[in-house]
Structure formats: C-alpha cells, structure tokens
Structure 1
Amino acid sequence: MAKVKHRSVEERAANGKGYRKDTPVSSHTGWTPAPDRPDPVALLEEQNLTREQDLVPVRHGRMLVSPFTFYRGAAKIMAADLKDTPRAGLVSQLCGDAHLSNFGVFASPERTLLFDLNDFDETLPGPFEYDVKRMAASFTIAARNNAFTKEETHDVTLTAVRAYREAMAQFAQMGTLDIWYARLSEEQLLETIDMAVATQKGKALKKAAQGMEKTARANVAKARTRDSLQALSKLGELVDGQYRIVSQPPIVIPARELGESLGVSADELQHVIREQLRSYRASLQDDRRHLLERFEVIDVARKVVGVGSVGTRAFIALLQGRDQQDPLFLQVKEATRSVLEDHLPKSKFKQPGERVVQGQRMMQAASDIFLGWTRGAQEDRYLYWRQLRDMKGSAVVEAMKPLGMTLYANVCGWTLARAHARSGDPIAIAAYLGKSDKFDVSITDFSERYADQNDQDYQAFADAVHSGRLESIEGL
C-alpha cells in the first residue's frame, strides 16, 4: 500500500496555483500539429491489425459518414496529438474518450436514472486536460456538423469548458463524501431543462426551448423502457418453445453460426461459453455473484457496437431466470490496451478488462451491478461484462439545435468535472483553472484548431477509402 499524504486545503490550493506559473492556462492556446505528426490513416491501420477483419470495413463505413463520426473513432489519433500539448501535472482518472456522445442516462442499482459518462474503453490515470480537450473539441466538431454558425459553435464549446471550470470550483468547496455522492439524476436533469425553457425570451426561442424539453422528456421515458425484456423482443425469437438470438449478419451473428465459421463444434463452443461465465462470476462481489447464479445461459452472439469499437470482439449473452419472461442480456466487450498507454504510464492493472471496470467504478456516480471482467478464451484477449440494456439512453447529437447543444454542453461539463473530482484533487485543479475565463477561451481556441485538423484527417481517411487503400462497407 502506498503511503497517502494528507495536505491541508491551503497547501492543495497553493499546489494548483503553482502549476499556473509553469503551465499558464493560456498555454493551451495556439495548438499546431507536431512536425513529426504520424500519418492518421496509418494509426487506424495499426489498430485494425488486432481487430476482426470482416468488421474492419464496417468500422470504416461508420467513420466515413462525417467528420464527426470520424472523430468518434479517432481516439488513437488524438491521443498521439495530446502527448505534445501542455499539461499542468494534475492527474485524475481519465475517461480517455470523453466526446459528447459518450455521455448518457442509465439506471443506478436503486433504479434511478442518472446522467453520466458511459464509455471507459480507454480509461487511464492522466492529465485532466486530456479529457477536457477531447470533450471540448467534440462540441466544436458536432456543432459544425449541425451547420451552426461560427459564433454559435464558439459559444457552445466555450459553454462546455466554462461548465467544467465552474463545477470544479464548486467541488473544491465541498466535503469529500459530498463529492463522492454527487450525481445528476433524472429529476435534476429535467429541472435544468425546465429552467432553460423559463429563461428564454422571445416567441421563437421559447418555442425552440419547449420543443427541446418535449424531446428530452420523450428520450428519458424511452430510456425507462430499454431493459432486457425489451431487448428480448428486438433480439430474440421463439423456436421450438425456446428463445434464441436472431441472426442479423454481419451485425448480429449467433454462436450457432459463428462456431461454424471458426471451425468449432457446438459442444466445444458451449464449453468455452460456460467457462467464460464461470470466470466472470468470480470477478463479482458475493451478493451479485449469488444473483447471477440464478440465471442460466440460453444463447450467445457476436454483436457489432459503436464506431471506434467496431472490430474489437463484442458479444451479447441471453440468460434466463425464473422463466422465459425473466431474461437478462449481458454485453461482453473486448478490452485492449488504452490508446493513452502509448504515451502515458502503463495501467497498474495487467488485465485490460479490470482496467476498464475499475476506471468506470472510479468515475461514475453509480455503476452496473453486473460490471466484471475475465480473460478471453484466446491468448492475449481480455473482456469486460455489463448489462446490455439497463434503461440506457443517449442524446441524438446530430439533431441538436444551438439551444439544445448549449444546455447539453453545460451538463456534460459538470459531469466530467464531477468524475475528475472523485479521483483527482478538485481543490488543486480549481486553483489551477482560476476564476476568470482564460482557461475556457484557451481550450476553445484549441478545439477550433483541432477541429480544423480533424477535417483534414477525415479527408485523408476518405481519400484512403476512395483510393482502395482502406476497404469500407457503408450503411451498417
């Protein structure tokens, strides 16, 4: 066990202010790519080497939709760029891929809907600025994608960073347990939207705000319906009195078909599945292990998910409790080395699945009760497990108007600050950020410059697809 130093509030604040001298908040302004910047397409090709080769073209097709979808899949590219950017030296647990589509709602163990970060494939301790820049740049790129004006795009990005800075200042004044228990519930989220509607002036803005409120309430209500029973109606079929997962290649391929392509018999595949489940159960605490043991595995399938994750191994498992109307869908995703580990100290966890799980538990206000990890059946393959649908919901970013994205920027900035405050030092970080808007302006400048670079990278990627260097399957 490492010896923990307990500094006074004054010492922690002085520590943060001291970093401002070595790395002024204005130093984040004026970003330019490094002279030896690697070829972005080559970085994606490097990632593809360990992925399911039949799914790599699907990944390319999803990234090809727009500069925004490209950015979602380009965490490795940005990690290489961030390594050359200024950093104060204040470390927190990073999401590693904190773009605006990796926030959303889900159910807490107490069945309360919470808004939080929801993707931790790249999580790793590191400079807090990395997450802030990834989030802020995503707002700039998304706003441009939605055809916002230059001023509207600037304001949305500035709002996200300001929300982060102001929230961190609030957390710096809170007790340690108060920070740990802080969360953004469904009720608080809707109250925030109601306040935004009430403060709008003018008929057009008021109407836009009311439309945003209606959409938000509909999305929250929809999220409440997204559970394992609803997943069964979408992903399952009843054959000879037994449910099984429907085949929808190449997006969903059941084990009964996947085994044939791998040259594995059905009995051998069932044995592997049960061994994996047994190993996964061992990573859960006793009460949750006992709960899981009440379910039996019915079927397993490979299922393509996301944008950046496409091509990594991902499965869904259908389990059954007391009867056929008591299903549990688990999602099993491959965990690889974080893209940040190319440039930051390696994770203290040798098992990448545990890295993801422990990072998620550190950053989220509440985590899935079935969150666990295991080693894959193949050598050097690692997995983490969680519920597939547990009232999960996300905003449709591409449909957002300036008012809606501004509100969303506020809640994402607050949420990221709360996640960093749990693992980092909120007093030191707040002291470094300061009370003025200098940090906000500096990060917004970085975001606009990085969005320009992302456009260039997207064009290089599109050229690689059109030239035949990369294969692409679109529309999946």
Structure 2
Amino acid sequence: MAVRKISHPSVDERKAMGSEARERAPLSSHTKWEPSSDRPDPVALLEKQDATREPDLVPVRHGRMMVSPLTFYRGAAKIMAADLADTPVAGLEAQLCGDAHLSNFGLFASPERLLLFDVNDFDETLPGPFEYDVKRMAASFTIAGRNNGFSKADTRDVTLASVRAYREAMASFAQMGTMDIWYAHLDEDELRASIRSVVSGTATQEKKARKEEKTDKREKRPKKQEKRAEKKEKSAKKGEKATKTAEKLADKIMTKAHTRDSLQALSKLGEMVDGKYRIVSQPPIVVPARDLAASYGLSPDEVMPAIQEQFRAYRATLEDNRRKLLERFQVVDAARKVVGVGSVGTRAFIVLLQGRDAQDPLFLQVKEATASVLEGHLPKSRYRQHGERVVQGQRMMQASSDIYLGWAKGLDTRRQFYWRQLRDMKGSLDVEMARPVGLTFYARICGWALARAHARSGDPIAIAEYLGDGDTFDKSITDFSERYADQNEQDYQQFVNAVGSGRLKAVEGV
C-alpha cells in the first residue's frame, strides 16, 4: 500500500507560497470577466442534469427557478461551475462547498445544542481552488441586491462586505494556532453581540451627526453646510432604525430556530391513524412511500422491508456510539419530500422514526448524492460513494456537524444517498425581504464562515498572504460579481424563453 508523504513547511515557507501565488494569478486578474467564446448553452446544461432526475419533479424545479434571476442562480451551480473553470486561480486549494451562494448558509444545532451559523449545503463539495467558493458567494450577494431593488451603490457595498469579511477573517486565522482554527465557530451569543455592536455603532454615528448640526448652528455656517448636516443626521437616524429592525429580525429567526425539531416537524408532517403516526400526503411536495411503491417497482408489502434494509445499511456507516443510539429508534414511515431549488428532482426522502413512544419522534432526511458539478472541471473525489463525499466534505468544513450524518446506496445501486437529521433547529434569512443594512451584516458573517471553513482544510497562512492587506482582492471579486450577475440575467432570460417556447416544461407556484 502506498504511503502518502505529508510535508510540514514553515510559516515563512507558507507565506512564500502565498506570494508566489500572486505571480500566477495577480489579484487584479479576477476583474473584467467575460464568458468564453465556446461557452456551453446554459439551458443544455440544465437539460443534462434533468435527464437523471424524477420526471414528475423536473417541471417543479424549473418553476422554482423561473421566479427570479436569484432563484435561477440558486439552481444554476452547474452553469457557473463551467464558467469558473476558465477563471484565473492562485493554486491554493481548500475543501469547497461547491455551491456557496448566500442561501446555503444558516443556523443549525450542534450536538451540544448550541445554535451555530455556518455553511449548510454540501451536495457539490470537492477540494479545489478557494476562489471558486468566494466568487459563487459574492456574485449571489450582487444578484440578491439587484433582486431586492437596492441602489447600485448599496448592492456594491453588500458584495464588498462579503469579500472583505472573508479576507479579514482569513488574515485572522493565519495568526491562530491549528487547534484554535478547528474549534472556531460562530454561535448565537456571538451573533447577538455582533448585532448589538452594529446597532451601537450606528447610534454613535447619529449622535455625531447631531453634534455636528449643533456646531453648524452655533457657528452660523452657510446654508449648504447646514443642509449637509441635516442630511447626514437624517441618514444616521434612518441607519439606526434599519439596524434595530435587523436586530429584531435576527432575534426572531434565532428564537424560531430553537422551536424547529422533530416534534415540531411531526405536527406539520404527521397524522395519527389507528393510534399510530404516519406521514401525511401532501403531493407533489410530500408523497408517502405507501403511495410511491409502484413507481419504484415495489408492492405495498415490500415498501417497509426495503426501507428497513436501507436504514440498516446507512446505520452501519455511523460511529459505534451513534449507531447504538439510533438503534433505540424504530422506523415508522417514509415519504418523498421535495426540497430547495437546485436539488428538486433528485431523489429526496424523509423517514419518521419513533423512540420510547409516539411523542418521541426523530425525522431523518435522505438525499440523493450525484457527482459534484465541479467534477467535470476538477479531479474526481477520492470517495467512490458520492454520499460519503458529501458527508466527509461537510465534516471537514463545518465547525460542528450532525451526529446522524451517514450514507448508503439505494435499492437501485446506481443511486447513492446521504442521511442526516431533518430540521434540527434550522434557521435562515428570508433573503428577498432583506434590506441593505441587514444584508450587509449577513454578508459579513457569510464571508467569515466561508473563510473559517476554508482555513480548516486549506492553508490560511498562504491564502492570507495571497489576499494581502489592501482591498484589491475585494474590488476584483466585486467586479467579477457584477459582470457575472449580468451574465446570470441573460441566462435567466434564455431559460424563461426556453420554457415559453416549450423546450422546457415548468410548473409554477409549487
């Protein structure tokens, strides 16, 4: 068996790697992006993905992508992967999310029942150039800003904030010990403290504006200066009000997240029949296994044994103590459940389990894992099972991961799946309702979370050295984001036209 040699370069050598990387890809090289002359047809790329998806759900996916350029972008990871393959890279790699748009960050529970903020989607995870994730994230903020009707300046500021936060966080991680980086996380107490800091800073700005106005009046300055002072005070008041509103919204999201657990899911997804809970039918979003049997070539009597078989195979991939814990639960029911935008059409299920009694439920989610969209442009995963690729990538990137993460093949052995808890204290921002102050704060914490995820698997010293102390990288990625947002709008229109012409089918409002 070949033994992998592990090198341990010094801090100076790692800094030198970052400096050398600038020669390969100067910070300014990320500007002025243009699509390649042989860029593939974006609609054709989506059609290729559709070919392996559930036929009855493909129109639902298209309908969700049709809502706006932002929802289209969420489902267009494969398109952007092809575009990123032609962009300059520094040669500094990390474990990538692969689909790091702003809606793939959020709150969830740690095993210690702390509410954490982190990256939370890893279907496309793969090692690769760190810039890919940064560009996917930053462009999503530009697209969201435009979608929400922000001014050009506000949209640019939000995007810059996400990249600046990434760069500054990476500089901080470059100064930290290895284990300190591994344990770094952003919990709800730190989130609340950060929000209070922003509110306090805005209030200070307002006080300063009032003081300047009083000074202007005492010194009887010209009207132009008085008007400027009044405008400044009005802006400060508006900023403080918006920040306090954002604080209340964040508090509401975190409070709600604490209520989202298997018992709450049971109240929405379960029904009592003959003294036992089962999953309620809500087609096409939730279709119980009992109604799907024929679709998968099974008789009704074969459904539960098949689910039990899959459950045992998955359970075997867990650590021994967690496997023992899961053995205390029995499978009660299962259903197909549509989730997200980009994932719609891939096979996704929920499994209802019961512990001591009917009031002790556990919901698990089972998602199909297909090849990462990045695999056409980067080396393939070292893991042959795509479910394991997703699980191992998630464990590498997240500060703390679900105790029930595992994987298994499907009844159709060509299909692979990963398992996790459903709705375990999950919370997320309603991006389309966010205003500039709130989205700017959100951009900062997303940038920080992505940097921490990359610092765990990549070299924070080399990456920080490459990024530098100035704002050249921030501006370069923001320039890329604006250009890519333009391209995304064109792709979206081409997609809408394909639906209008009948090339693609779409079901809206589902």
**Under a length normalisation based on structure 2, what TM-score does the superposition of the two structures give?**
0.93
Match of 1:68, SS state, is helix
Q: In the alignment, which residue of structure 1 is the partner of 2:240? A: 206
* Contact 2:350/2:422, CA 8 A, preserved across alignment: yes
Alignment correspondent of 2:229: none
Tell me which residue corresponds to 1:248. 282
In 1, are the aligned partners of 2:369 and 2:390 still within 8 Å (CA)? yes
Alpha-carbon deviation of 1:206?
1.3
Matches within 5 A, 1:167-316: 167-200=169-202, 201=206, 202-316=236-350
Inter-partner Cα distance in structure 2 for 1:39 and 1:93: 28
Find out whether 1:467 has 2:469 as its counterpart. Answer: no
CA distance in 2, matches of 1:149, 1:214: 24
Q: CA deviation at 1:264?
A: 1.4
1:369 to 394, 400, 403: 403
RMSD after superposition:
0.6
Q: Which position in structure 2 is the counterpart of 1:70? A: 72
1:447 equivalent to 2:481? Answer yes
Aligned equivalents of 1:332, 1:87: Cα separation in 2:
35
Deviations 1:140-190 (A, max 9, x none): 000000000001111110110000000000000000000000000000011
- Structure 1 unaligned segments of length 5 or more: list them: none
Residue 156 (structure 2) pairs with residue 122 (structure 1): no
- Give the CA deviation at 1:262: 3.5
User: For the residues of structure 1 that align with 2:21 and 2:245, how far apart are their CA atoms?
Assistant: 44
Report the Cα offset of residue 351 of structure 1: 0.2
Of 358, 367, 371, which residue of structure 2 is paired with 1:337?
371
Aligned pairs for 1:405-416 within 5 A: 405-416=439-450
Equivalent-residue separation in structure 2 for 1:210 and 1:25 (angstroms): 36
Indicate yes or no: 2:139 matched with 1:137: yes
* Structure 2 CA distance for aligned equivalents of residues 208 and 399 of structure 1: 13
**CA–CA separation in structure 2 for the residues paired with 1:19 and 1:218:** 43
TM-aligned CA deviation for residue 459 of structure 1: 0.1
Deviation for aligned residue 1:369: 0.3
Contact 2:43 2:494 in 1 (8 A): yes
**For 1:355-380, what per-residue CA distance to the aligned partner results, in whole angstroms no more than 9, with x for missing partners?**
00000000000000000000111031
Equivalent residue for 1:354? 388
The alignment partner of 1:184 has SS state of coil
> For 2:474, what is the secondary structure of its paired residue?
helix
Where in structure 2 are the equivalents of 1:38-77 lying within 5 Å?
Answer: 38-77=40-79
Q: How many corresponding residue pairs?
A: 476
- Among candidates 154, 157, 160, match of residue 158 of structure 1: 160
Secondary structure at 1:316 match in 2: strand
1:23 deviates by 1.0
| More off after superposition, 255-264 vs 146-155 | 255-264
Q: Distance in 2 between matches of 1:379 and 1:329?
A: 24
Query: Which residue is equivalent to 1:384?
Result: 418
Which amino acid in 1 is paired with 2:160? L
8 A Cα contact 2:313 2:408, kept in partner: yes
The answer to whether the aligner puts 1:437 opposite 2:471 as a matched pair is yes
Question: Match of 1:2?
Answer: 4
Tell me which of 14, 39, 45 is aligned to 1:12: 14
Shift of 1:389: 1.3
CA distance in 1, matches of 2:32, 2:437: 28
Distance in 1, matches of 2:131 and 2:249, equals 32
Larger CA deviation: 16-25 vs 346-355:
16-25
Q: Residue 458 of structure 1 is aligned with which of 486, 492, 498?
A: 492
Query: What is the letter of the counterpart of residue 33 of structure 2?
Result: W
Q: Identify which of 316, 320, 323 aligns with 2:357.
A: 323
Counterpart of 1:58, as a letter, is V
Deviations 1:209-247 (A, max 9, x none): 111111110110000000000000000000110100000
**Residue type matched to 1:432 in 2?**
Y
- Structure 1 residues 251-280: Cα deviation after superposition (integer angstroms, max 9, x where no partner): 000011011343411221212101100000
> Percent of counterpart pairs with the same letter?
71
Greater Rg over alpha carbons, structure: 2
Amino acid across the alignment from 1:124: L
The equivalent of 1:112 in structure 2 is 114
The match for 1:147 is 149
1:26 matches 2:45 = no
SS at match of 2:502: coil
| Counterpart-to-counterpart distance in 2, 1:249 and 1:106 | 27
Deviations 1:412-468 (A, max 9, x none): 000000000000000000000011100000000000000000000000000000111
